[in-house]
Amino acid sequence: MSPPPEPAGLPARRAALRLLDAVLRRGETLEQASGAMRGLAGEDRALALAVASEALRWLTDLDTLIDSATRQPLPADAKPRAVLRLMLAQALRLGTPPHAVIATALPLLAGGPRRLAHGVFSALLKRGAVLPAAPSLPPAVAERWECAWPGRSGPIAAALAEPPPLDLTLRDSAQTAEWAERLGGMWLLPGHVRIPRGRAVETLPGFADGAWWVQDLAASLPARLLGPGKGRRALDLCAAPGGKTLQLAVAGWRVTSLDKSARRLEMLRSNLRRTGLDAEVIEADGLTWESPDEFDAILLDAPCTATGTCRRHPDVLHRIAARQIVEMAELQAAMLKRAASLLAPGGRLVYATCSLEPEEGEVLAARISLSGVPIRADELPAGILPTAEGWLRTDPGMLAEHGGLDGFFIARFINEA
């Protein structure tokens, strides 16, 4: 006799379990772990990612619930704990009926303690277990961010309760109100539209015509701070996947876009083709690349821990610790020094990271040899102010009434040599 067919939806849950393992045990990003979803169709891929993402977003609170229903705590890396995390994320966050959760979760523990998982899950639902209004940050993260930004860890955690809305940057900022109405969204700066999440990007009006591209509001600010290009030369030093390059091209800069990732540069080229914009694209390492010319403007949105993107990438809450922060800060310092050497006299450099760690932002900005050009409040969305040093620090808890934004550090400099 042939074995009974698998329950519908089991492959997606199996992939979600592999995603969780890749993040928590191997320290991979959800993007790096996408091979765990190989062979899944579009809807199942989306489901696997949603289940794993919600489990990571609420991991601390899910573990608290699990521990409250077991006589002895399950080891942190025990498979039954991982499966229970996925079960509870589905029932408490995604609204999956309990019978469907059980039918697609217990087979993941074939040969293991199914009764334990079933019993813990059922006991928690029977007693009306709920999650708090906002996720609890992992203790080490909460301590680190509260130390760096007193009073902000609470608002940051609150901003993680839901995946963020979708931000679009427009090719023609004069059409901001028109596109906001057409897409059913709102705007916080000219050239920006924010729409509710959950819509397939490729099906939205204007996508095929290249009228806009997806880019978080905070991520769009560094390029804006370089102003109009008027035909001058700009270097986008870590360019892929291309949103900043498109902004600079629209602003009239002659853009050289450099990145060492061939795969991500292909995304940049695709965006250039779709929008009809132009840039010189170079595959190279920014630390060793030699340019025959200096640049009037350089945008260095440097590789970083990306902890500021925790609204969209909850895996960073569990992958990043002191070692990764130190390693990234060393790389960023080297890239800042290299960028400064490519800047023409009178040229401007904007340095940015999507990190909430001061070692990757404020600490480095205070050490650069170039003179600062303070960021002004009138260059920013209403409700966002520069720091006393003339830098910009955003976090996910800001503009909460409008859906928040990523955590970024941005500073602007000039070569007065």
User: Is the confidence at residue 51, as pLDDT, over 70?
Assistant: yes
pLDDT at 4: 63
How confident is the model over 56-76, as pLDDT tens digits? 999 999 999 999 999 999 999
Average pLDDT over residues 93-104: 96
Cα(308)–Cα(217) distance, integer angstroms: 12
How confident is the model over 253-305, as pLDDT tens digits? 999 999 999 999 999 999 999 999 999 999 999 999 999 899 999 999 999 99
Q: Which residues contact 302 (CB under 8 A, 6 or more apart)?
A: 237, 238, 331, 332, 335, 336, 351, 352, 353, 360
Confidence of residue 324 (pLDDT cuts 50, 70, 90): very high
How confident is the model over 34-50, as pLDDT tens digits? 899 998 988 999 999 99
- In the residue annotation, 310 being an active-site residue is answered as no
Average pLDDT over residues 166-174: 97
User: Is the confidence at residue 3, as pLDDT, over 70?
Assistant: no
Domain chopping of the chain, boundaries: 10-126, 215-414
Q: Are 240 and 301 in contact (CB under 8 A)?
A: no
110 to 104, 209, 337: CA distances (angstroms): 11, 50, 54
Backbone torsions φ then ψ of 414, nearest 5 degrees? -135, 145
pLDDT at 110: 85
What fold is seen in the domain 10-126? Answer: N-utilizing Substance Protein B Homolog; Chain A (1.10.940)
Backbone torsions φ then ψ of 343, nearest 5 degrees? -90, 130
Which residues sit opposite 169 in a β-bridge?
A: 192, 213
* Active-site hit among 238, 304, 310, 354: 354
User: Is the confidence at residue 382, as pLDDT, over 70?
Assistant: yes
pLDDT at 2: 56
Length of the chain: 417
| Angle, in degrees to the nearest 10, between helices 79-93 and 59-68 | 110
User: Is the confidence at residue 381, as pLDDT, over 70?
Assistant: yes
Which CATH architecture fits 215-414? Answer: 3-Layer(aba) Sandwich (3.40)
pLDDT at 199: 85
Q: Which residues contact 301 (CB under 8 A, 6 or more apart)?
A: 219, 222, 236, 237, 238, 244, 352, 353, 354
Residue 141 C-alpha from the chain's centroid:
16
pLDDT higher for 7 or 309?
309
pLDDT at 7: 79
Average pLDDT over residues 12-20: 97
pLDDT at 21: 96
Cα(109)–Cα(44) distance, integer angstroms: 20
pLDDT at 373: 98
Q: What is the pTM of this model?
A: 0.94
pLDDT at 6: 75
